[in-house]
Amino acid sequence: MGKKILRIAAIVLVFAIIGFLVGGSLIPETQYISRDVVINAPPRAIYPSIANLRVWPEWTPWKEMDPKMEYSFSGPETGVGAEQTWTGPESGSGRLKLTKANEHIGVEYDLWFDGEGPTPGGIGIERLDKPNQTRVVWFFVADMGSNPVKRWFALFLDDMVGKDFEKGLANLKARVESQPIPEEEEEALPESGSPDDMEDGSEEAAAAAGEDAPTEEEEDAQDEDDEEERVE
């Protein structure tokens, strides 16, 4: 009786392992995770908060989850090449580097977490048809490879990462909508004339010529002097 039970248990275990491996192979190795939000502001009001990694701790959720997290930054302040590293007792250690940046499209980055990576992700911005409304999408692409354990884990990844993205986007929305919308930058041109006139100094030359030209009284005095010379 005992041997029969052990035999049945062994058979069940074998089928469970086979099912685990086969099931894992059917799960896609690449998982695309994303969350989005509509922010009542144009892209130019949103871009500074996503292109400057130094302000990420002000709206991303991880500092709140791990108050002892410490950040360091390198590279340019904004845009491609900007880099952020962090370490914390709850969050572990990681590094994030911007690889693409465009004020009309958003940013993309590579992420290294606890020595693994890089894993690509990004924050996209899309202007909507309604005035001063922009759709912001935070996305993450996880490559689980051929490891069936990682593929099964990917089934829970969307819920885990998605909650962080939702909270971060809500914070970003509140941050942007509480700030004044920056005015669109326009190239300043002179009220009259052309930029070429300013560049080649025509106005300055004309002013100088006006300063050197004799007045009408000076011309009359000069004529009188010439007349006296002729009389003599």
The DSSP bridge partners found for residue 193 are none
Neighbouring CB atoms inside 10 A of 97's CB total 18
| Domain regions of the chain by residue span | 30-177
Burial (CB count within 10 angstroms: exposed 0-12, middle 13-18, buried 19+), residue 147: exposed
Backbone angles phi, psi at 149, to 5 degrees: -65, -45
Cis peptide before 148 (omega within 30 of 0): no
pTM above threshold 0.85: no
The reply to whether CATH 3.30.530.20 applies to domain 30-177 is yes
With 80 as the cut, is the pLDDT of residue 208 above it?
no
Nearest to 43 by CA among 139, 140, 124, 138: 124
pLDDT for residue 224? 54
Q: How far apart are CA 68 and CA 60, in angstroms?
A: 15
E strand or H helix at 87 = strand 83-88
With 50 as the cut, is the pLDDT of residue 202 above it?
no
The more confidently predicted of residues 181 and 4 is 181
The DSSP bridge partners found for residue 130 are none
Tens digit of each residue's pLDDT (9 = 90 or more) over 124-142? 999 999 889 999 999 988 7
Average pLDDT, the chain: 78
Window from 76-80, 206-210, 224-228 with minimum mean pLDDT = 206-210
- Mean pLDDT along residues 213-225: 55
| Exposure class string for 23-57: b at 16+ Cβ within 10 A, else e | ebeeeeeebebbbebebebbbbbbbebbbbbeebe
Under 8 Å between Cβ of 52 and 82 = yes
Nearest to 157 by CA among 136, 106, 96, 149: 149
Tens digit of each residue's pLDDT (9 = 90 or more) over 185-200? 643 433 333 333 433 4
Under 8 Å between Cβ of 136 and 39 = yes
